[in-house]
Structure 1
Amino acid sequence: MAEKKWMPRWFYQLASPRWCYDITGKLLPIFAIAALLTLVVGTVWALAFAPADYQQGNSFRIIYIHVPASILAQSCYMLMAVAGAIGLIWKMKIADMVAKCCAPIGASIAILSLATGAIWGKPTWGSWWVWDARLTSMLILFFLYLGIIALNSAIESERTAAQSTAVLALVGLVNIPIIKYSVDWWNTLHQPATFTLTERPAMPSEMWLPLLVMVIGFYCFFAVAMMLRLRNEIIQRERRSSWVRALMAN
């Protein structure tokens, strides 16, 4: 009797670069349309219809870029670490590719979070930058992304590079709860979380609903960017396989 598989079928299918390439090709237009719609609706809603903050006025509107970027930068890192762990344990080539593709996207999102935070901090705190616990831990996250990108580039062997970056990503996971709970653990200038899944938002609904739409839009945009990079990575690594040669010929 064959041994019963305890993982879902799609998990094993993901080990196939060709299957992953095909399924991402089908998902790309869906997420591209979703990203375009949610980002356009969220931006117009946030800038034209959301009320101004009673303390910060219109300067608070940068929250609609800063908060989604901050959340996504952390989520992208967690995905990279999980993919790295899967690559280490099950030696999945696709997981290694996902981890590699996450790093430059995550670094870009992290720098967007830091830049928008600095722009928001100037009128709010009177300074572009302070060595606040939340800001410092976000800066460390950005440097972790850069370190993983550099390590990937420095090691010629794809397998060795994947293993090394996976270990670094897993070690760096300790920074994620520090980012999240820094405002609770230390006395910081940074405001508490704008909204969470377990508590009622502190903002009125006409402010946090467009923020939620922007968060969804950022995640859809990340999915598009991730799938595009992943498909390119698959083609590059599998360029000698018959199915890629047939694809290129067509």
Structure 2
Amino acid sequence: MHRFANPGRFLRLAGAVLPWLWATALAVTAWGTAWALLYAPADWQQGETVRIMYVHVPMAWLAMGGYLGLGILSVMSLIWRHPLADLAARELAPVGAAVTALCLATGSLWGKPMWGTWWVWDARLTSVLVLFFLWLGHAALVRAFDETERGARAGAILALVGLVNLPVVKFSVDWWNTLHQPASVTRLDAPGMHVDMLYPLLVCAIGFSLLFGAIVLARTRSAVMERRIRALEMARARRADRPLAAAPATLAGD
């Protein structure tokens, strides 16, 4: 991993992977969305409203999986202190906050016709809202310091503390009595939905996951390039200041 974490190697690898990743992500997402909206059957109870599931469920998975990735990057940052892990975590946080916001918004749209209300303070919804605030807190904290290293350290500590919330999000429907339905796809015995709905859901999840990865990779690549350009500009500015600093002494000697 250290070999690929080298900024130069990362830029070359990301530059080669990104076009293929974007193309695959857009193709799979278009395929899954068309399958879900046009060909997947309506639910016998929820009717056409169930189609919100094809966005809501992948967003929920990405919100939790992305935060787990943020925790892994935070461990790498605190132990090995590699700046690429800091940059990746910094660029991941806004994307994670966006998918968590989409999860909450689509959940509210789905909850209104099913529960009769946009929001209830049950364990699953509240813990996902806490997850959204953790994403926002990390994104704000790493940008709150003039020294980027201090911001990265503070953000990493916050991300690791926030990992405690992930089991609460996952198992809240099992630990407490909530309006939110229990897991129907990740059950150990068998999925709780028909394959005509399960397969397009999985394709949508793969497509959105690839898009998520492409966005984070592109943002991280841009951040690495921006930091290298800034470092070059600072080096040029220092070189330009040296003759100016020596000029008065030369003139005085003359």
| TM score, norm. by length of structure 1 | 0.90
Structure 2 gaps of 5+ residues are: 236-254
Q: Which amino acid aligns with 1:107?
A: A
1:94 corresponds to? 84
2:95 corresponds to? 105
1:68 corresponds to? 58
Residue 42 (structure 1) aligned to one of 4, 23, 32: 32
2:242 corresponds to? none
1:12 corresponds to? 2
Structure 1 gaps of 5+ residues are: 1-10, 246-250
Percent of aligned pairs sharing the same letter: 47
2:150 corresponds to? 160
CA shift, 1:198, in A, is: 3.5
CA shift, 1:197, in A, is: 6.8
Residue 200 (structure 1) aligned to one of 168, 190, 214: 190
Task: Verify: 1:184 aligned to 2:167, yes or no.
Answer: no
Residue 115 (structure 1) aligned to one of 99, 105, 108: 105
Give CA deviations for 1:141-163 in whole Å, capped at 9, x if unaligned.
00001111111121111111111
CA shift, 1:241, in A, is: 5.5
Distance across 1 between alignment mates of 2:95 and 2:88: 11
CA shift, 1:86, in A, is: 0.2
Report the 3-state secondary structure (helix = DSSP H, G, I; strand = E; otherwise coil) of the residue aligned with 2:109. Answer: helix
Residue-pair matches, total: 233
CA shift, 1:18, in A, is: 1.1
Runs of 4+ in 1 over 4 A off after TM superposition: none
Residue 52 (structure 1) aligned to one of 39, 42, 54: 42
Give CA deviations for 1:96-136 in whole Å, capped at 9, x if unaligned.
11111110000000000000000000000000000011000
Residue 31 (structure 1) aligned to one of 6, 12, 21: 21
Task: Verify: 1:233 aligned to 2:223, yes or no.
Answer: yes
Give CA deviations for 1:50-105 in whole Å, capped at 9, x if unaligned.
11101101101100000000100111111111101101101111111111111000
Distance across 1 between alignment mates of 2:187 and 2:217: 27
1:248 corresponds to? none
Distance across 1 between alignment mates of 2:5 and 2:194: 45
Greater Rg by CA: 2
